[in-house]
Amino acid sequence: MPTLTINAIRKLLRGAPHDEAELEKLAAQVHTLPAGELSYLMRTTAPTESAVLFLVLDKNQALQVFKQLSPSYQAKLIDTLQTEQLTNIVTDLNPDERALLFGELPATVVKRLMQGLSEKEQQMTASLLGYPKDAIGRYMSPEVLAVPANLTVGEALDYICDRIDEPETIYVVPVVDDTRKLLGVVSLRGLLAAERGAPVTDTTHVPVSAQVTDNREDTARLFRSQKLLAMPIVDSEERLVGILTIDDVLSILDREDAEDAARTGGSEPLPQSYLSLPIMRVVRSRIVWLVVLAVSAILTVQVLDVFEDRLNEVVVLALFIPLLTGTGGNTGNQAATTVTRALAVGAVRVRDLPRIIWRELRVGAVLGVVLGALGLLIAGIVYGFDIGLVIGLTLLAICTMAACVGGVMPLIAKKVGADPAVFSNPFISTFCDATGLIIYFSIATTVLNLG
Amino acid sequence: MPTLTINAIRKLLRGAPHDEAELEKLAAQVHTLPAGELSYLMRTTAPTESAVLFLVLDKNQALQVFKQLSPSYQAKLIDTLQTEQLTNIVTDLNPDERALLFGELPATVVKRLMQGLSEKEQQMTASLLGYPKDAIGRYMSPEVLAVPANLTVGEALDYICDRIDEPETIYVVPVVDDTRKLLGVVSLRGLLAAERGAPVTDTTHVPVSAQVTDNREDTARLFRSQKLLAMPIVDSEERLVGILTIDDVLSILDREDAEDAARTGGSEPLPQSYLSLPIMRVVRSRIVWLVVLAVSAILTVQVLDVFEDRLNEVVVLALFIPLLTGTGGNTGNQAATTVTRALAVGAVRVRDLPRIIWRELRVGAVLGVVLGALGLLIAGIVYGFDIGLVIGLTLLAICTMAACVGGVMPLIAKKVGADPAVFSNPFISTFCDATGLIIYFSIATTVLNLG
């Protein structure tokens, strides 16, 4: 039963130090685990505890498991357990995986690990590390198979088969001239379907490519929108320097999605999986935003302070505060989520701002009419018509305002070059809270003849 | 300048009916647009308006554009413009794309379109439509190339080259026996690297496969976690019936992500892109949740109603209501977002519930101590020590409670078989609002000796 086994292993791992007999027991249990369970075990255990696992995994298993971890987790493992086993794993990584890991390690450790690599591997890794952290160059594979443009289809196929072990992919093959300038791309399928005697340039098509220094997310989105399997990467002189494969692209997009999801919820993304992190690291990902939001919320205290006399006069007004601010926040969040998503998938651009305001104005008004009517009815029955009218009108105004604010904020963020998710749901809620209270007490003052 | 062009085209499209001269002008403008701009144009225009475009696009362009639209958008286009051009496009779709489109069309239209297909295409489409809507069978390609197990590597390569035009992929090739039972999978790369004379079964490896009736999301996640390019799909007797490629998987996951994002923001997912939908359709995606949340928020009115006497006594307590409920909501959202994400990527399971409660209890307490200290200080200075103490203690209690609630709710949803995102951020906020108010007034009553 895997349930028992995972828990048993976790317990074993926690009880360091370990003697020989215990390690053997651990090894026996680990070898019965399916790959998916092993990966789940790692993601729910701190790196300091799971390090022991790498003593008992066989070489191949250790490499597979290691590859599935985030670079930050990998770095902590290496920090915890500086064994030959782990050094060997680093040697067996692809150059792009290694560059991402090295980006997380202190310079002294990188230097030590570099010495274990062959000269060619050292060179490739160093060149990848030379690109900025968010450049696509960090993610590409420098081991790219390209065929010279002067070959025939048959020669090209033989050329590929002779070098089949090295490159990361052989299904998309760049075609280059003598100076390694990228001329085109040919798919292996295209080559196999063509006449062997025809020149390879006949089946070549114009490549969708990117430059090494291009932004990783933009390049990944371009790759996805074109439904590619691989994309050649060139330097500033159009010379082929690497190839980006779909798994690189998907891991970039996964990371961006995780970042967006975290920001939308008002926290910073975690560097590794939730259950494997120390408590204080989780706190750190949340505290800054929470304090910023709490301090912004002091605005709501000040707004209410201004209206304290009205509250003293009609204390029943206080009862509706959470309902009204809550509804405003919800309406704003709905609009913000829709527009943020549409921006991410390219179905909306910044210049659509006027159309979006006009849409959200109408959507918000319709929502406000429905909720306002409900509010008028319910509050009117329980607290009298006057209060009902105040609540109804306030809901109408708040919904219209919040839908517009929620729709516009992601566009403003994008316009000023920030992540659209940075005006997160909590931020929009806080903004709508303060504005909504001003609307509420203004309407109440007029309708109830206060002040 | 594309900015001008897109707007000019949109204006042209809106002014139906169109005469011959106008259509020619439209055609001239459309042909200068890059593919990305054309796709953006479609996604920001209602199907009733963009239909005219299909009169002027050339056949190939029309097919490419059509393929990028959501099935719901495609269906509305066909409904608007029943021309031969569109009928031809339907004929040119892959069987899996066609099945998704037909799922959105009325039966009579499906029947008419079916008659335009060849007998083989009719058969394939009908068989895909026979699977339930969320089964992976709907998304696979029935045009799968499999090699018989008794061939040599060389024979298998020739076999593939002879049939290279039909299948959706040739890079992952299932190996079958005479009864079409799936025995294994071989990559084209593996075949090219092997000796031509060796039996094909020597390079075959055990396939990761799924059954036609398996759930689409589970299958897509399995596919992704194994980093596959294609996956054979079998029937209940292990016979090969189709192949799932990475673009099918990514479109399934994109749709699930869009659904999660929408639910997290408290609305239902939109069937097509935001700007192409009628206003009332956008309202419909939001109104249900908004009303549900507003009605739940009546709970907060009732809680406050109970404490109205205390509010009358110390009206200054009302000033902090939005700040306290807001902070509770934010803390809950942070935890919920983290756990929902961890559940989606498999880094947390339902049985981790005790560990998550224990984590969030500690994280929430640390956050609460920091915010509580801030609250004690600021509120203490402005409104006196007593009020400061109430606010500080309440923040500590609310943060601890909200972090636990936010962390636990997604697990409860998962446990009862619902989408973890169904307890959306707005829902958690509303729940924390009501609970937070009870905590607030209980603490105030004790500290201030009220009631």
pLDDT per residue over B51-91, tens digit each? 888 878 888 888 888 888 888 898 888 888 777 777 888 88
List chain B residues with CB under 8 Å of A301: 319-320, 322-323
Which is higher by pLDDT, A43 or A185?
A185
- Residue B209 pLDDT: 93
Residue B224 CA to its chain's centroid (Å): 15
What span, in angstroms and rounded, lies between the C-alpha atoms of B17 and B12? 10
First to last CA, chain A: 71
Judged by a CB distance cut-off of 8 A, whether residue B301 touches chain A is: yes
| B401 pLDDT above the threshold of 90 | yes
* Residue A402 contacts residue A324 (beta carbons within 8 Å): no
The total of other beta-carbon atoms located within 10 Å of residue A241's CB is 19
Mean pLDDT of A66-76: 87
* pLDDT at position B388 over 50: yes
Q: Which token pair is B50?
A: 């963009």
- Residues linked to residue B258 through DSSP beta bridges, in sequence order: none
For chain B, give the percent of residues with pLDDT over 70: 98
Q: Which two tokens stand for residue A14?
A: 């926690």
Whether residue B275 and residue A352 make contact (CB cut-off 8 A), yes or no, is yes
Highest mean pLDDT among A428-437, B86-95, B390-399: B390-399
Instruction: Kindly indicate the confidence band of residue B2, based on its pLDDT and cuts at 50, 70 and 90.
Output: very low
Give A218-223 contacts, CB < 8 A, sequence gap 24+: A219/A136, A219/A244, A220/A136, A220/A249, A220/A252, A220/A253, A220/A256, A221/A253, A221/A346, A223/A249
**Would you state the structure tokens that stand for residue B324, as one six-digit string?**
């306290």
For B39-181, where are the E strands, in sequence order?
147-148, 172-176
- Scanning A332-371 for CB atoms below 8 A from B yields 333-334, 336-342, 345-349, 351-352, 355-356, 359, 362-363, 366-367, 370-371
For position B408, what pLDDT does the model report?
Answer: 94
pLDDT confidence of residue A210: 94
Residues of B in contact with A312 (CB under 8 A): 315
* H or E element, residue B187: strand B182-187
For residues B250 and B269, what is the distance between their CA atoms, to the nearest angstrom? 17
pLDDT band at residue B422 under the 50/70/90 scheme: low
The dihedral region occupied by B391, where left means phi > 0, alpha psi between -120 and 50, and beta the remainder, is: alpha
| Binary contact (A352, B44; C-beta < 8 A) | yes
Q: Give the pair of three-digit tokens for residue A251.
A: 């891991």
Q: How confident is the model at residue B451 (pLDDT cuts 50, 70, 90)?
A: low
Taking CB atoms and an 8 Å limit, are A322 and B322 in contact across chains? Answer: yes
Task: For chain B, give percent helix, strand, coil, nearest 5.
Answer: 65, 10, 25
Give A68's DSSP letter. T
How far from the centroid of its chain's Cα atoms is residue B85's Cα?
31
β-partners of residue A175 are A147, A184
3-state secondary structure of A439: helix
pLDDT band at B3 (very low <50, low <70, confident <90, very high): very low
CA distance B91 to B228: 29
| CA distance readout (Å), B99 to B23, B93, B131 | 32, 9, 10
Task: Report whether pLDDT(A3) > 50.
Answer: no
The residue-averaged pLDDT of A28-54 equals 82
Residue B4's pLDDT band (cuts 50, 70, 90) = low
pLDDT at B16: 65
- A129: number of Cβ within 10 Å: 18
Task: Report yes or no: B318 and B387 within 8 Å, Cβ to Cβ.
Answer: no
By the CB < 8 Å criterion, does B107 face chain A?
no
Residues in chain B: 451
The C-alpha atoms of residue B213 and residue B234 are separated, in whole angstroms, by 9
| DSSP-derived pairing of the beta strands A172-176 and A182-187 | antiparallel
pLDDT at A296: 87
Query: Measuring CA to CA, which residue among A293, A272, A368, A381 is closest to residue A327?
Result: A368
Task: List the Cα angle A422/B254/B287 in 5-degree steps.
Answer: 70
pTM value > 0.95: no
Within a 13 Å sphere around the CA of A288, how many CA atoms are in the beta-carbon half? 9
Q: Is the pLDDT of residue A260 over 50?
A: yes
Write out chain A residues lying below 8 Å of B348, CB-based. Answer: 44, 273-275
Q: Is the pLDDT of residue A1 over 70?
A: no
Give the burial class of B309: count Cβ atoms within 10 A of its Cβ; 0-12 exposed, 13-18 middle, 19 or more buried. exposed
Q: Tell me the pLDDT band of A239, cut-offs 50, 70 and 90.
A: very high
Among residues of chain A, what percentage have pLDDT more than 90?
A: 49
Residue B17: pLDDT band with limits 50, 70, 90: low
Of B40, B274, B294, the CB nearest to A327: B294
At A185 the three-state DSSP class reads strand
SS3 state at B201 = helix
A3 at interface of B, judged by CB pairs closer than 8 A: yes
Average pLDDT over residues B95-113: 87
**Chain B CA closest to residue A187:** B171
**Percentage, residues of chain B above pLDDT 90:** 49
Q: Does any CB of chain B come closer than 8 Å to the CB of residue A250?
A: yes
**Closest residue to A370, CB basis, from B225, B287, B345:** B287
Mutate to test the interface with A, among B338, B351, B370, B391 (most CBs of A within 10 A): B338
Q: What are phi and psi for residue A187, nearest 5 degrees?
A: -85, 150
pLDDT tens per residue across span B307-353 = 998 988 899 999 999 999 999 999 998 999 899 888 888 889 999 99
Residue B77 · residue B104 · CB < 8 Å: no
Q: Most B CBs within 10 Å: which of A73, A272, A338, A369, as the mutation test of the B interface?
A: A338
pLDDT bin (cut points 50, 70, 90) of residue B1 is very low
Q: What is the pLDDT of residues A373-410, one digit of tens each?
A: 999 999 999 999 999 999 999 999 999 999 999 999 99
| Cα–Cα distance list, B426 to A181, A329, B16 (Å) | 54, 8, 42
Instruction: Give the list of residues 6+ apart from residue B378 with CB closer than 8 angstroms, or none.
Output: A298, B388
The neighbour count for residue A96, using CB atoms within 10 Å, is 26
What distance in Å separates the CA atoms of residue A261 and residue A283, rounded to the nearest whole number?
17
Cis peptide bond upstream of A17, omega within 30:
yes
- Pairing of the two strands A230-234 and A210-211: parallel
Q: Which amino acid is at A93?
A: L
Measured between alpha carbons, how far is residue A372 from residues A317, A382, A391, A442 in Å?
A: 16, 15, 7, 16
- Cα B309 to its chain centre, rounded Å, is 48
Instruction: Give which of B295, B319, B382, B399 to mutate to test A binding, by max A Cβ within 10 Å.
Output: B319
> Could you tell me where the DSSP H helices lie in A314-384?
321-344, 353-383
Instruction: Count the neighbouring beta carbons within 10 Å of the beta carbon of residue B396.
Output: 23
Q: Furthest-apart CA pair in chain B: how many Å?
A: 94
The answer to whether the CB atoms of B425 and A227 lie below 8 A apart is no
Contact A265, B425 (CB under 8 A): yes
Whether B39 has a pLDDT exceeding 50, the answer reads: yes
Q: What is the pLDDT of residue B207?
A: 86
| Chain B residues 251-290 with CB within 8 Å of chain A | 254, 257-258, 261-262, 264-267, 270, 273-275, 279-280, 282-283, 286-287, 289-290
Q: What is the pLDDT of residue A4?
A: 52
Contact A192 B170 (CB under 8 A): yes
**Nearest Cα residue in chain A from B427:** A330
Place of tokens 């009902």: A388
| pLDDT reading at B385 higher than 80 | yes
What stretches of A31-162 show up as alpha helix (H) in DSSP? Answer: 35-43, 47-50, 53-56, 59-67, 71-80, 84-92, 95-102, 107-115, 119-129, 153-162
